Chain A
Amino acid sequence: GENVEQHPSTLSVQEGDSAVIKCTYSDSASNYFPWYKQELGKGPQLIIDIRSNVGEKKDQRIAVTLNKTAKHFSLHITETQPEDSAVYFCAAQSQTSYDKVIFGPGTSLSVIP
């Protein structure tokens, strides 16, 4: 079945700097890749997603890139702010995993003012 790895597990950046989180997936049939942000004590919330027919997607300070050949996808946050501090999860979904969404283990991002 699908397996999603995520790095780093923790990330600390200065306010205003960029943050990059990388994920790899094992199932070449995966075609939907969402990213969720989880603030302390809350449920995860979708921040951006990308489908396999697109290589890059951007939404204000957040961008996601997808390399299907290498089975990598990454989240880029520019001009980080303290409110970006949270746990970020990447995920992958494919028909061969019976449409289940498989989540990575998460990255704890701290933005230092």
Chain B
Amino acid sequence: NAGVTQTPKFRILKIGQSMTLQCTQDMNHNYMYWYRQDPGMGLKLIYYSVGAGITDKGEVPNGYNVSRSTTEDFPLRLELAAPSQTSVYFCASSYLSYNEQFFGPGTRLTVL
């Protein structure tokens, strides 16, 4: 199993550009999550999904959108990128809630 994979690893965007961060898991997990990690701030939940077709907002959803058309994929869309979205983004998955989350390697995004 590859676990949770994320692409790209690094990306530089200009203000106002859009992009999609890809996330795929091959563990048949129901739950998937997107977090952002700012220096010294821990992990903040952006969006999460409890299954295909179901998504919900986390702590910091503004400026982002998600979709979950399959069990495996959970892409995160940034519209109109802003410098405040400069961060490291982690995708994670778990089989059930209140259980271990498996994290991908992260995407480092810089908005200039």
Contact = CB atoms under 8 A, between A and B. Distances in A.
Report whether chain A binds chain B. yes
Interface string B41-81: 11111001000000010110000000000000000000000
Interface residues of A, number: 25
- Dominant SS at the B interface? loop
Interface residues of B, number: 22
Interface of A: 6, 9, 31-32, 34, 36, 41-46, 49, 51, 89, 93, 98-106
A99 B58 contact: no
Contacts of A104: 42
Nearest to A105: B42
A31 B101 CA distance: 16
12 contacts: A6-B42, A31-B98, A34-B101, A43-B4, A43-B92, A43-B104, A43-B105, A45-B103, A51-B98, A100-B45, A100-B58, A101-B33
Contacts of B44: 103
Interface of B: 4, 33, 40-45, 48, 56, 58-59, 90, 92, 97-98, 100-101, 103-106
